[in-house]
Amino acid sequence: MSASRFPAPVSAVALAAAVEDGRTTAAEAIERSIAAVEAHDEMLSAFVATSFDDARAAAAVSGPLAGLALGVKDIIDTAGMATEMGSPLYAGNRPRADAPVVALARRAGAAVIGKTVTTEFAYLQPGPTRNPARLDHTPGGSSSGSAAAVAAGLIPLAFGTQTGGSVVRPAAFCGVAGFKPSFRLIPTVGVKCFSWSLDTVGVFGAGVADAAYFLAALTGRDLRVDTVAPSAPRIGLVRTHLWEEASAEMRQAVETAGRLAEAGGASLVDIDLPGLFADAFSAHQVIQDFQAAQALAWEYDHHAAALSPILRDALTLGRMLTPADYDRARRTARQARLALRELFADIDVILTPSAPGAAPEGLATTGTSIFNRLWTLMGTPALNVPGLTGAGGLPLGVQIVAPFGRDRACLEAGRFLERQLSGA
């Protein structure tokens, strides 16, 4: 089933500039987003709740995000709006306060327009959201509604979270930029915990510059990449031990991205990851499941019957892990992080798949995070770079990974690559 016509994705950078120089007003920009949600979300199902009056009131707030409508993943607390975690257990749950990331966005002028659909507790049970590129394909998860709403042009910006691949993968499936910053760059207080060593708040924008603009406004850091032409990076092409799990067109997409980057002046080298990183990939699952069994202890102990079978089974397996299993996985993760520092000695960034391929058909699954988990475990910044499409017209995303703390380098390299892909 082909998607009906949605609005084109909205550039946050361009819209902010239009508000700043008076070509439009914040109120007008917010009204356009409200109209887009009203016109198209019945088909898309990106939002679980909206708050148009609150969004309109935000037009009076000045700041770099003035006039920019924002979607907030529904595991992130919002004062006065329900935060339901994608679960009937939290139906009607109304936090007293905004999570810090939401408060910071509002302070910068953003208009919170609503809560976007999440999978149950940001795990694997899908919600109703559809992919705007093809409505009969998954948008990915767990930040399903955030990626879809930005890709469909309903809103310019959205928050997501990533514990495995929940920002990068849906961004890839929907064809937008999704950025998972370095671990703890921005706070996760007020975000429903699944795995405290892995959970990271991320951002979605139409393109790389838009995601960077959003993060710069939130953090006050020099992260904007729209003001100067990015320099050509030194790129390491990393296929990982899972390369054969990628579809033929995804493998070709990564090769194409590398070739175009090289043609634009970047250096490109192949890098084979030592076996330690395959062990670290496996360690991610142990750490996530062990911590999730504790983070969702109340839900499991008192309301197990209300949990989806896939989540309940995962928590049961997590309870079977021993502290020794967990500590061994943590040691492996630390060894891999140290080894990764050495790998980056001669390159600036890594190029690797964002997902095994284009968005799978159907809404019964959100796909797999196998090409994201390692980088989430490493705590490194990771970015989906949009711009390529597969034979069926579905987006194909490639992933840029930079060293821990080098978020600007990741965004700059992503912007460089995005420009090269625009001519593909």
Q: What span, in angstroms and rounded, lies between the C-alpha atoms of 381 and 375?
A: 8
Helix (H, G, I), strand (E, B) or coil at 112: strand
Q: Catalytic residue at 180?
A: no
Asked whether 329 and 195 are in contact (CB, 8 A), the reply is no
Q: What span, in angstroms and rounded, lies between the C-alpha atoms of 46 and 139?
A: 10
Query: How close are the terminal C-alpha atoms of the chain, in Å?
Result: 26
Active-site residue, selected from the candidate residues 11, 51, 166, 354: 166
User: Which has the closest alpha carbon to 188: 29, 334, 379?
Assistant: 379
Active-site residue, selected from the candidate residues 73, 115, 180, 192: 73
Two structure tokens written together for 47: 């939002």
Q: Catalytic residue at 73?
A: yes
Please report the DSSP string for 367-406 in residue order. ---TTTHHHHHHT--EEEEEEEE-TTS-EEEEEEE--TT-
Active-site residue, selected from the candidate residues 11, 87, 142, 143: 142
Q: What span, in angstroms and rounded, lies between the C-alpha atoms of 258 and 295?
A: 40
Asked whether 110 and 93 are in contact (CB, 8 A), the reply is no
Phi, psi of 362 (to 5 degrees): 95, 165
Supply the residues annotated as catalytic. 73, 142, 166
